[in-house]
Structures are given as structure tokens and as C-alpha cells.
A and B are shown apart, each in its own frame.
Chain A
């Protein structure tokens, strides 16, 4: 939000859970002001990638950097302070708290900036998602799925990120709501925010992205501009659900 987007560079990133390795050397770049998507089927490791970038999962090899600042093995609370904000899978809202309180907590890492700045940022996310202003006093758990997803995005924006990470924001939502959320992502990108979008709905993601990566069992197997990927036979096969029938992807 009105901050210039930073560039995100992920190099040779490896991580997993306990002894199970999930990411097996991931290289990804998001240039300043780009909307980049990572697509892939269930269990490919997309969420693990985002969780490793912000530090919920510890990297076992490789590096993450934002602009030229090293962020490898950071913690989520530090990442958001540096300007990398995650809209997580499952939204993770503060259910019993009001919409407004969720948003105020979203600005927690910036709360040194004072009331005036907070009010301004609230105005801003309310203008992006007017329904949140109508529901400001309502507890988050009483919102509809679509409204909850908007709140999750809005809460992340309250930290004034320079890189926004989103984990399947379209999941389980009606087409109309999806359109509204992706319209907002387009607008944020147009303002210069860098966005890394993880999606299972490849068609939707590629329609809005500048570039994309295809992930499969913890590796990037394909990358290119969104248009190239949309035209790619292998990518087309994913929509048809024939991905697993094919062994040689490249």
C-alpha cells in the first residue's frame, strides 16, 4: 500500500517437516511490482514454500532475500516487520475478535506510527473492501467465507507490506467473490506491490499474473511468462487432471 514493492529472491531453498524433506531446491524470483504465481497440484509443497519464506518452517538449505536483505531462517514476526506479509491457507483470522480489531492487529508491526496513520490505513483497506467497513463491529467468525478472505487480505495489507504472499485465496469461494478479490490484487499490483500468489486454479492465477512457476513434488518443473504457460501443453493437461498420468513433464 503506497510502499514501493520489493523484490523477493528464493535460491535453492530446501525445507520440510521433521525428517521429511518437502522443498527440494526451489529457485523463484519476484521482481519489484510483479505478480508472480506458483501453481501445482495438492501436496506439491506450495504452502510449505510460503511458510518457509516467512519462517514458520525452517529452511535446511538455500536462501531467501528481500531486496538485498537476507531473510533466510527468519521468523514470521520479523518477516512482517521487514515487509513480507502472508495471507495464509485457512486465513487464520482472530475469530472472536471484531473485523476492526483484526485489522488493528494487522498493523501490530507498525504500531509505532501512531493513531493518524492507523486511521488512514483503515480507510484505505475499507475502500478496497467496502463490505469490511459495514461489518467493522462484527466478529470475524460470523463473516461469510468470501468476507473472511477479504479480511485476511486486508489484515495483511495493514502491515504495509512490500511483498504480499497469498496462499490459495480463491479456495472454496464463489466466482463473484473470487473476481472481486483478484480485481483487488490487480489494483495492488498496478500500484507497484510485489505479489507472490500460490494457486491450485492455474487458469485463474495465470490470467492475473505476469509470470508463473509450476511446482511438483517440491521442485519447480516449469516456468515462464503467464501467456507462455497458458499456451503450454503440459500446463493445459493439469486442468484436465491428467498431470499424474505423465511422467516426463519437460
Chain B
């Protein structure tokens, strides 16, 4: 395989990897504040695309505004999901909460089918024009958008986590919920906020990839699995690990297409998931699942 061909696979891996990273961040953020794997995370990805298409095609909003509306509506869905499905079960054990998220996932995708129909939908690329050529490889303009938006989201999130009161509360809650309550953190609010953040990030992923892949009511499950695998790969520990896990999974997938066959692409993430769970359940980049004194 030539250098430019390989580079093409790396580019494609980093493109998908960015999407996985955003979805994986969603898993990590909710896990940190609740200890629960939210299996509806993939649906937020789906909704981000669908809401944007809807705002763009049905309401004729300009693309940038439709994208913002898409993120906001997805975040609102995340908040509603938490308030209606998670919060009422305040003494719920984690297993029952996880089952609730699986049920919620099915519910959200059937609702989406009902609202937006069964067909594949798409929005145009954010900027039109030919691909950018780098060392003989082509980078689609939308891919540049995906990278730019992912980096922006990660930088903002990192700033929120490390420099703001909200971020400090989010981290405190992840380390020890009772201790967070002791110093005055409203942990229920933090859980709601983390669902909103996770949904917004999933929505951002879904809408920024929609021009390339199209989207449909059932697009969430597949990406949900990828994001979950990426989160496990990273170790569910912290946002940086989640992003690293996403990028790595994208690259692994891409390389498996390059050197094996595209038939195995989707199986690879499951294989990675199982391998990590067997060999290094705490993930590649984390010291432990939940850090406590």
C-alpha cells in the first residue's frame, strides 16, 4: 500500500474517530455523575442529525442556525430523558437504571421514526467545494468541519471542567457523590446537567456527520456501540481518555479495512470492546473506574 493510500485511511479513521470521541464523551460524562452506562447515548447522536435536518428542510432555517437548533433540541431531550426516566428512580440500583436507558433508547428511536419518517435524510455539507488535497490524499471539507467542531467542543469542555464552578462540581460528583453533597453540590442538578452535556455532544456528532453519511431514525444504535466501545477503551475515567479512546477506535477500524476487509469493520469495535474487558477492564488510559480516597 502506498503512502498516500495509507494516509487516506488515517484521515478516514480520524474522521470517524472524532465522531466516536464525541459520543464516547457522552458516555463518560453521564457515567461519572451517575455510575450508569447510558445506552440511549447513541439516540442523542441520531437526534442531533434528525433535528437539524428537520430545522433545515421543514423550517427552512439557515444551516448554521439549524445546527444550533439541532444541538439545543437534543440537549433538551437529554434533560427531559433524565427528568422523566432517571430522576424518579432515585433509589434505583444501577442495573435497573441501565435497563431504563435501554428502554429509553428504543423509545427515542421509535419516536423519531414517528416524527421524521422511516427514510434516510441528509443536510448539505457546511461548506461546499472540492476536497482539500494533502500529500496525495483527499480530505473532504466536511471532515475538516468535524475535526474543527470536535476540537472546539473538547477545548470548551476541558475549560468548563477545570476552570469553572460547574466543572469542579462535576468532578467532585464523579469522585464522591456524598462528599460533593456535603460541600453543597446539588448532585441531582449535576446529573441533569451531565445528561444535557452528553446529549449536546452526541447531537453535535450526529449533525456534523449527517452531510456525509445521511441519517435515519435507526442510526443511533450502531454509533452507540462504537461510542461505548471507545469509552471502555479509554476507561470511562476522564474526558481526555474518552477522546483518546474514540480516535483510537476510529484508527483501528480504518486500519482493519486497509489491511483486512471492510466486512469486519463493525465487528472490530465489538472485538476491541471484548478484548479490553477481558485484558484491561479499567481501560487503557485510566487508573481505576471510580477514583476514591
Contact = CB atoms under 8 A, between A and B. Distances in A.
A140 interface: yes
B181 A105 contact: no
A105 to B, nearest CB: 5
24 contacts: A54-B182, A56-B178, A56-B181, A76-B182, A77-B187, A80-B182, A85-B182, A86-B182, A91-B293, A92-B293, A93-B179, A94-B172, A94-B179, A95-B176, A97-B172, A101-B168, A105-B172, A105-B180, A105-B185, A108-B169, A108-B184, A108-B185, A109-B183, A155-B183
Contact of A88 (B168, B172, B182, B291): B182
A104 B185 CA distance: 12
A108 B168 CA distance: 9
Contacts of B182: 54, 76, 80, 85-86, 88, 92
A77 B184 contact: yes
Interface string A101-123: 10011101101000000000000
Interface string A64-96: 000000000001110011000110101111111
B165 interface: yes
Given A108-B172, A111-B165, A159-B184, 13 more contacts: A56-B178, A76-B178, A77-B184, A88-B182, A92-B176, A92-B182, A93-B179, A95-B291, A96-B291, A108-B165, A108-B184, A109-B183, A109-B184
A27 to B, nearest CB: 25
B160 to A, nearest CB: 15
A141 B169 CA distance: 18
Interface centre among B182, B184, B292 (most CB of A within 10 A): B182
A141 B293 contact: yes
B226 interface: no
Nearest to A51: B178
B180 to A, nearest CB: 8
Contacts of A90: 293
A88 B176 CA distance: 13
Nearest to B178: A92
Contacts of A92: 176, 178-179, 182, 293
A108 B171 CA distance: 13
A141 B179 CA distance: 14
Interface residues of A, number: 30
A77 B291 contact: no
A105 B168 CA distance: 7
A96 B175 CA distance: 8
B285 to A, nearest CB: 14
Given A94-B175, A94-B176, A108-B168, A159 B183 contact: yes
Contact of B175 (A95, A106, A148): A95
B186 interface: yes
Nearest to A56: B178
B183 A80 contact: yes
Nearest to A96: B291
B166 to A, nearest CB: 11
A31 B82 CA distance: 43
B181 A95 contact: no
A96 B165 CA distance: 17
A95 B184 CA distance: 18
A104 B175 contact: no
Contact of A95 (B185, B187, B292): B292
A85 B180 CA distance: 12
A132 to B, nearest CB: 16
Contacts of A75: 181
Given A94-B176, A97-B171, A97-B175, A108 B183 contact: yes
Interface string B157-197: 00000000100110110011011111111110000000000
A113 to B, nearest CB: 12
A147 B165 CA distance: 25
Given A93-B293, A94-B172, A101-B168, A77 B185 contact: yes
Contacts of B179: 88, 92-94
A93 B291 CA distance: 11
Contacts of B181: 56, 75-77
Contacts of A91: 293
Contact of A81 (B172, B184, B293): B184
Nearest to B173: A94
The 6 closest A-B pairs by CB, nearest first: A109-B184, A95-B293, A92-B179, A76-B181, A80-B184, A108-B183
A96 B187 CA distance: 19
